Amino acid sequence: MNNKVINEVQEKVAIVTGAASGIGRATVELLHARGALVVAEDINPAVKDIFKGHDRIVPFVGDVASEETARSVVALTLERFGKLDILVNNAATIIYKRVVDMTLDEWDRILSVNLTGVFLHSREAVRAMIPKKSGAIVNIGSYACFFGFPAIAAYCASKAGLAQLTRVLAVENIPHGIRVNAVGAGDVVTNLLNHFMPNGREFLAQHGKNAPIGRAAQPEEIAEVVAFLASERASFLVGSVVMADGGYSVQVGPTVT
């Protein structure tokens, strides 16, 4: 692998939301390893300890669904590093309830984190990127961008909305040199389900076996796709939802063995 690839984001400045664990943490670590300066945002205060002592990683605690958080994290980034090149909208949450059993507050919280948070951070990031006529936004989607699953209606609705928001942001901002794309992740072994399921990681690992590849992904595998989309190697990708789901989205019915 040549140095251009290893240092594909050298001296780029990135914000990554949901940075305290899973895909977000893996993305922060990969971008940092490849030369980027990163603001690592999470609602969990533990993000400060995780990235403590990194002179090129600045932790930021905030609720991704808050307009003030979006404004503050971009302002901090510009203050500390003087520019913003990359935004990775990764933060997400989920609830397992059928529509008939779901409260309005539960519905609103999923949409506010998974979709409104992406809108708010993207809006503020674009405002910072337009003057320099360049930038990349990568949204972490899901195979739920396109498929319905029982008991996660709010999550599916938010990810379908994220796919459309990705496309509209892309066509609005490519004239400014800003590329917007998304990753359609399949099952990834993360802590996404841990707030209501004690064996969430094991559940995701098991569910991943339904994909043709026969397993779930590790967060580092999705981070590699994010780094690619954020780099100039993906210079002709605009408004794409790049499926990284082990083939889940291209099969019809169960895998035949």
What's the maximum distance between 2 C-alpha atoms anywhere in the chain?
55
In one letter, which amino acid is 18?
G
Which tokens go with 213?
């590849």
Task: Report the 10 Å Cβ neighbour count for 1.
Answer: 5
Which CA distances in Å does 144 have to 147, 152, 248? 5, 9, 11
Question: What is the dihedral angle through the alpha carbons of 167, 172, 178, 183, rounded to the nearest 10 degrees?
Answer: -10
Active site residue 155: yes
Candidate list 96, 143, 155, 248, residue with the active-site label:
155
Q: What angle do CA 152, 155, 160 make, to 5 degrees?
A: 120
Helix 153-173, helix 117-129: angle, nearest 10? 20
- Cα(94)–Cα(153) distance, rounded to whole angstroms? 10
- Integer angstrom CA distances of residue 213 from 141, 220, 249, 250: 19, 17, 11, 11
> Checking DSSP bridges between strand 37-42 and strand 241-244, what pairing results, if any?
unpaired
Q: Please say whether the dihedral angle defined by the alpha carbons of residues 19, 25, 27 and 31, taken in this order, is positive or negative.
A: positive
Catalytic machinery residues? 155
